[in-house]
């Protein structure tokens, strides 16, 4: 299983973060046999090219990803085919959309980039499988009804697209958004995940993998640090 994490600033993380990628790696190494999972991707750094992860014991080989601060579906769609091919990725865990809706594109345009992303990823690996996370509204949604509505509309469109484009040889899953997400508890600035939020995002992906494809086991929260 060759996993590629794809995401924006919530996924790449900043200096001093653990990242939900780290929490997911912990979960998979705890619940799967040794050598079963390989994390792949062209990047390993946090934001601003920092390598100061909260846990210096996070292995270099497990830090791989395709995530970027300020990057969304718009930016990843042109890259994904080459990255999947070069790194032989077979499973994508994708958390994108908030930055698109916040700065670049409306729901329909964002969805078009999702479809382009999936088409290019599958062209590189026709048996690719992917888990997509709905957009988690940030603190802006609480004070900007139009933005909140755009996030909700996009998530509806995303759910329909996942259902329509799923294939037996290339399955797609829509993960359930983390329950009771609280910007006060689950982020440190209204958007980017705190340790609690990292666990909640990792749990959303882990539960989707386990329930649909029997990968790993139920997510177990480790002490928040």
pLDDT in tens, 201-221: 999 999 999 999 999 999 987
Q: HEC profile for 72-140?
A: CHHHHHHHHHHHHHHHCCCEEEEECCHHHHHHHCCHHHHHHHHHHHHHHHHHHCCCCEEEECCCCCCCH
pTM recorded for the entire structure? 0.96
The count of other CB atoms within 10 Å of the CB of residue 20 is 27
Closest alpha carbon to 117 in 1, 3, 6: 6
Q: What are phi and psi of 3, to 5 degrees?
A: -90, 135
Domains and CATH numbers, the chain: 2-213 (3.40.50.1110)
Q: How many CA atoms lie within 13 A of 11 on its CB side?
A: 30
Give me the pLDDT at residue 221, please: 76
Give me the pLDDT at residue 17, please: 97
Q: Which residue has the tokens 């992906």?
A: 205
Give me the pLDDT at residue 222, please: 57
Residue ranges of the chain whose pLDDT lies below 70: 222-225
Q: How many CA atoms lie within 13 A of 172 on its CB side?
A: 23
Angle at 199 between CA 107 and CA 168, to 5 degrees: 55
Distance CA 56, CA 24 (A): 16
Q: DSSP label at 224?
A: P
Could you give the dihedral angle defined by the CA atoms of residues 125, 128, 133 and 134, in that order, rounded to the nearest 10 degrees? 70
């Amino acid at each position: 299983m060759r996993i590629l994490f794809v995401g924006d600033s919530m996924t790449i993380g900043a200096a001093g973060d653990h990242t939900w990628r780290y929490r997911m790696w912990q979960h998979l190494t705890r619940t799967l046999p040794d050598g079963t999972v390989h994390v792949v991707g062209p990047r390993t750094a946090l934001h601003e090219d920092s390598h100061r992860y909260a846990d210096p014991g996070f292995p270099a080989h497990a830090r791989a990803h395709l995530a970027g601060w300020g990057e969304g579906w718009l930016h990843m769609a042109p890259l994904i085919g080459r990255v999947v091919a070069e790194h032989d990725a077979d499973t994508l865990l994708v958390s994108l959309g908030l930055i698109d809706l916040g700065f670049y594109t409306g729901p329909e345009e964002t969805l078009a980039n999702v479809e382009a992303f999936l088409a290019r990823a599958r062209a590189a690996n026709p048996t690719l499988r992917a888990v997509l996370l709905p957009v988690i509204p940030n603190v802006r949604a609480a004070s900007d009804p139009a933005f909140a509505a755009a996030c909700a509309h996009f998530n509806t469109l995303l759910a329909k697209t996942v259902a329509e484009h799923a294939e037996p040889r290339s399955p797609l899953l829509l993960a359930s958004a983390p329950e009771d997400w609280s910007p006060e508890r689950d982020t440190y600035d209204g958007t980017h995940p705190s340790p609690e939020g990292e666990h909640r995002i990792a749990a959303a992906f882990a539960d989707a993998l386990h329930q649909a494809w029997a990968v790993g086991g139920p997510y177990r929260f480790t002490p928040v640090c």
